Structure 1
Amino acid sequence: MSRKLTHLVTMLTYNKTDIHPLTFILIGIPGLEAAHVYVSIPFCMGYILALLGNCSILLIIKTDPSLHEPMFLFLCMLAVADLVVCTAAVPKLLSLFWFHDGEIPLEACLTQVFLIHSCSTMESGFLVGMAFDRYVAICNPLRHSAILTHTITGGMGLAVVLRGVALLSPHPFLLRWLPYCRTNIISHTYCEFMALIKIACAETSIQRAYSLSVAFLTGGVDFVLIICSYVLILNTVFRLPSKDARLKTLGTCVSHACVILVFYTPAFFSFLTHRFGHKVAPHVHILVANMYLLVPPVVDPIIYGVRTKKIRDRFFTLFRFSKSLN
């Protein structure tokens, strides 16, 4: 441990005068360093559940032709984005917590920034696609299959991916061009855009403005579109003649609504805390930022597994089949 501490001090001394360090140091959760091993337990369990849950969703939907519907195709896209986001952050986090391995090369750090932020943006876009599916299914059910064909669904998914790549690709370059002559220590568990901006020793108003604009054009606009779709859905539902029909129709939206809450609640908290929550304790902010990355990938498959009978039945069929093989 003393050798690691000596190496850390050496790195700090070296990078005090280094304009473009080749390595950054992640320190984890400030104030909770002594509890990192204990904190790692729920993160490790959550990551395992995220891998199992999302891979199961992908396998079930791929092998069951009756699930090749727009909602479940968007769910597949969401599952892939969830897997990329948590895999980009959690393995390094566990390495930091378990082995005190906080060093991350510059290129790996910038790659992590791009993957986490771009795929988080894609998650938001896929939720909009799912909201559009619910809107068409409820407000224009007779034309649902004609409007949301596989080609249209695939095109919407591709548009979401291209939007995430196009808008978030500049982030690593904006960060790479900044000088980091103060320190190379990042007070976080992963490389986050704003965490790197804070340790730069240059004017960063342009980078901050671009990040804010991207957040508004993606998460902000997406959230408004989802709200608008649900206003139209509720308007249609409340015009249905019977209470049973209203409840049954709303029941088809419950899973999606829960996923929206799970995704946007920590996302907005983290976003607002970065810019306005100067009095929020750093460890609280970082824990919420990690929840934003890990909780949706863990919870999304559970929500759809519990709420969707086709997925639930197919899961138990696969489980019984694998059990019989053993």
Structure 2
Amino acid sequence: MSDDLVTPAWRSGHVEPGAVARAADALAAGGVVGLPTETVYGLAAAARDRAAVGRVFTIKGRPSDHPVIVHVSGPADLPAWGKNVPGYAARLAAALWPGPLTLVVPAADDVPRYLTGGQDTVGLRCPAHPVALAVIEAAGAVAAPSANRFGQVSPTTAADVIADIGDRLDPVHDLVLDGGPCPVGVESTILDCTDDRPRVLRWGAVEVDEIERVGGRPVSTASSAVRAPGGLASHYAPRAAVHLGNGAAPGEGFLALTGVPTPPGAVRLAEPEDTRAYAAVVYRSLRDADALGLPVVWAQPPADGSALAVAVRDRLARAAVR
């Protein structure tokens, strides 16, 4: 990992103020910052700095018509970014932020369309990571898609960010904050809040029954015309071919919960004890498979009905598409 780019930002359970100040200065000067969140690492730019956000797209190789999520400091920021925000969306923000929940709301008139993929909606989230929150409070809202090359495995450590895009960052103007491994491990739930009923656009760690209880509205899973990050058929993909199930041959990778036996000769990538632990290691395991040069990974995802299990199955299914 390059010492020129990485700044430790979390020590002994405390945020490093100097790291936050350095990140805020970089963002104010038009730089980009690898930012730890509870889900995955983001590549952050000041949200209203068009040139800086453009660099994020270029560094990632991200198509310009893909919306990015704006990370804000809390529910009080909703009026600055959204208009005619439904009451249930405001209740969700008040109760579930900071947290792994992105709310897509009608965009305020002055929201730059380079953030929205040309749509009249904007995705907003308040991350539940002390480093990310400290940076946002110091620097203002940031646009922050995942800090990796577009379509590839999302990063859950600072080292992943450097491995993916370190050669595309400027050590003079950019930096990566090391906040440790991401505890959730998969991207946020995205909820379309532009209608009377909230609609799931991307599965994450937030349970539907919690959304319904807090928001007071039934949740729909029907398709939506709103475009959201992570919606392509092929996404989150390692170099190794990914298959779902337990058919690993000798020399192929295998990922499953503890208690599921490893096929003879297969390389066990992890043995998470439950769905939450599985989500936290799924991207790490795909990266490990590539580091080991494994041509194939077989993943047997959790089969329970939790939102997080659905999210893991969704990510692996997209990783398997070639």
Same fold (TM over 0.5): no
With the length of structure 2 as denominator, give the TM-score of the two structures: 0.23
**Rg larger in 1 or in 2?**
1
Structure with greater contact order relative to length (CA < 8 Å, sep ≥ 6): 1
With the length of structure 1 as denominator, give the TM-score of the two structures: 0.23
Between Structure 1 and Structure 2, the one with more helix by share is 1
